[in-house]
Chains A and B, each alone.
Chain A
Amino acid sequence: MTDAPSTIAERSAEMLARATPTTIAVRVRGFSDRAIAWLFITPTIALLLAINIFPLIWAVYLSFTNFRANRPNAEVEGVGLRNYQRVLNDPDIWIAMQTTAHFVFWTILLQTVIGFAIAYLIDRKFRGHAFWTTVILIPMMLSPAVVGNFWRFLYQPQIGLFNYIVSFFTGIPPSSFEMLGSVALAPWAIIIVDTWMWAPYVMLICLAGLRSIPDYIYEAAEVDRASAWRQFWSITVPMALPFIMLAVLFRGIENFKMFDMVMLLTGGGPGSTTEVASITLKREAFESWLTGRSSAFAIILFVAVFGLANIYVKALNRVKQR
């Protein structure tokens, strides 16, 4: 054995140590490892407290007041639980929550099924699979603002490609239906775009799951003469399940707070048909300036997402332990 650094990383660390001015080295010499660790993480913790924890605590405080951000000179009074009571008794907010649940359910279902199916196909490692994997991932790399705007054009009843494709296959005149302007079709228009954009993300996670299944398990199943169908249900699905559940968790949390895509495509319309909870919250907070009430609504949403995510993570851990 020699004391000389062996890896590139060790050699780099050695060089950096030599380059450190002696004055700093002397000053640091008095600290314990724990103190140095605190020294490094304190700025990060301070930043997190300032931009995450403090606003959360402040929002909790505001949720019990009548504060309005557009009336800074007005007296702020405590209103107890009135904001929470009004939010929970507001039928429009419950409609927005139902709309959100509808989006979350359908987008997750479609993205999981499509994402897993694509991952399963890509995992076959056919000729050019790497190229197609990259192509399939393109939608999730695009900015939501870009996606929203170009899908608005695709859905345009008079010039939109989407309507022309539907017309080509069904014979329905392209300008006879409006994907974004019809109460029946607008929610599905958003679900289609979100699925188009995010199914590749689910695919990526599922692909990681499928590639983590050791080949010898399939080989053993072959020896036992298990059919492909049986292998799929008894090996592939159970072993990829934690990854699928993880993808569902990520997409569920994201879609629960879906805002950008809905805002760009329909603005919550027609009427309030696609007004999801985050849009209602934005309108209450920054258009109506009901800061106290919108803080209460935000806290309710936070607790709901946090609670549901926790229950889900426990279920995920149980599946992983099996």
Chain B
Amino acid sequence: MRKMTKALMGMSSALVLSTAIPGLAKADELTLCWAAWDPANALVELSKDFTAATGTTMKFEFVPWPNFADRILNELNSGGKLCDLLIGDSQWLGGSAENGYYVKLNDFFDKEGIKMGDFAEAAVNAYSTWPKGTPNYWALPAMGDANGWFYRKDWFAKPELQTAFKEKYGRVLGPPQTWDELKQVAEFFTGREIDGQKVYGAAIFTERASEGVTMGATSALYPYGFKYEQTPGKYDMDGAVNSPDSVTGLEAYKALYKCCQPPGYTDSYMGEGLDAFKSGQVAMAMNWFAFFPGLYKDEKVGGDKIGFFVNPKQKVAASTLGGQGISVVANTDNMDGALAYIKWFAQPDVQKKWWALGGYAVHNAVLNDPSFKASQPFAADFLVAMNQVQDFWQEPSYAILLQAMQKRLHDYVVADQGTAQEALDALVNDWKEIFEDEGKL
């Protein structure tokens, strides 16, 4: 009996220890958290060099996009120790800086000679600074990104379609330069039979739950002249958010959705858009540049069959910002290791390899390289897009601001409720209420 008791105690102790040990952070181990998507795989490859150079084992926690914000913000809010390093959305900067979730990196950058001037200015402002545009750095630009477009180059090149398009619109069928042209091209393709399949014009973002419809609609709103404030920093949104230009832009987005989106794409974001394109349902699709390397390599629709273009302009040239910076989580038990990774990642050679592997480096050593534009078929467009990006609020209350916009836009665009003017007026009221609660109005 006594032997059995001892054996049971031994087994239970072993069980307890075996479950406890993985929870203890090792000094030579780092966990990097990010979204689960193509560039994350490239980062795993790249980080092998860091392990080889330092002996630090890299662990990765990649969360699917629809749950990324929920999962990681919960982790930060609960003071969890899952992530030592975090590649987080630009909109999280305000909250994470003010709540002390991220380490301020100014002193570290000064000490290690890391200069923010070595990175693209738009990327630094968007991914690193809070308050936006000030020299207070909370992240190193890690992954430049913007919303762009890709199209079926092989369909566009078909002589019969070229002729039909020229007859109808009096110009050559090619990548659209403006939102008006975009709608024309999308309408032209919608309902046509190509290679024995009925096709549609464009797959655009309509997702309701996280950020999809906002990221999609702002790609129309910004070029039409939408602004968040009349005077930056003053929160005077009336006449900016709901200006006549903004209304026209939102109407243009809805018109594109109504005319040319494939059936069933009422709640679609990145994955659904990629599916629509890869399955040959659409002639064009919007999505983040991050997916372009993978699309170009796709056996069915990549290579010669695919072309890329930057978000069309209208009144102004503008693209919706994506991308992220890499931050050190203040709660980490391995601060030295996390900072060492940042230092390593900031090196020009590492940044060049990052781009070569499929990550969007925004280091000037990469972007200003004479061979950069020709290095990938979408590289030149990426440069153009990054120079015209506009971003959503980065306020600490960004999540509520985003939810309000998601609701108002989805109600109007997908659910057909009210007019564009009413949707944007309601949005202004929602945002005013939020900023009043914040004491900023």
Contacts and interface: CB of A to CB of B under 8 A. Distances in A.
Main secondary structure of the interface of B (DSSP, over half): loop
Interface string A286-298: 1111100000000
A214 interface: no
Interface residues of B, number: 34
Contacts of A157: 263-264
Nearest to B404: A288
Given A71-B396, A181-B414, A270 B266 contact: yes
A149 to B, nearest CB: 13
Contacts of B157: none
Contact of A183 (B69, B207, B264, B416): B416
Interface in B63-118: 69-70, 73-74, 76-77, 79, 95, 98-100
B407 interface: yes
Main secondary structure of the interface of A (DSSP, over half): loop
B364 interface: no
B263 A72 contact: no
Interface string A123-156: 0000000000000000000000000000000001
A103 B417 CA distance: 21
B70 A287 contact: yes
Nearest to B408: A271
Given A180-B267, A181-B266, A289-B399, A73 B100 contact: yes
A286 B98 CA distance: 19
A272 B79 contact: no
Residue from the set B74, B98, B100, B400 with the largest chain A CB neighbour count within 10 Å: B400
B325 interface: no
Interface string A54-70: 00000000000000011
A267 to B, nearest CB: 4
Contacts of A269: 208, 266-267, 410, 414-415
Contacts of B207: 267
A115 interface: no
Contacts of B281: 158
B209 A271 contact: no
Contact of B410 (A72, A176, A270): A270
Nearest to A173: B263
B356 to A, nearest CB: 37
A268 B263 CA distance: 19
A69 B264 contact: no
Interface string B198-213: 0000000001110000
A263 B70 CA distance: 15
7 contacts: A69-B77, A178-B266, A180-B264, A180-B266, A271-B411, A286-B70, A286-B74
Given A176-B263, A290-B400, 16 more contacts: A69-B77, A72-B77, A92-B407, A158-B263, A181-B265, A267-B208, A269-B410, A271-B208, A271-B410, A271-B412, A271-B416, A272-B410, A272-B415, A286-B74, A287-B399, A288-B400
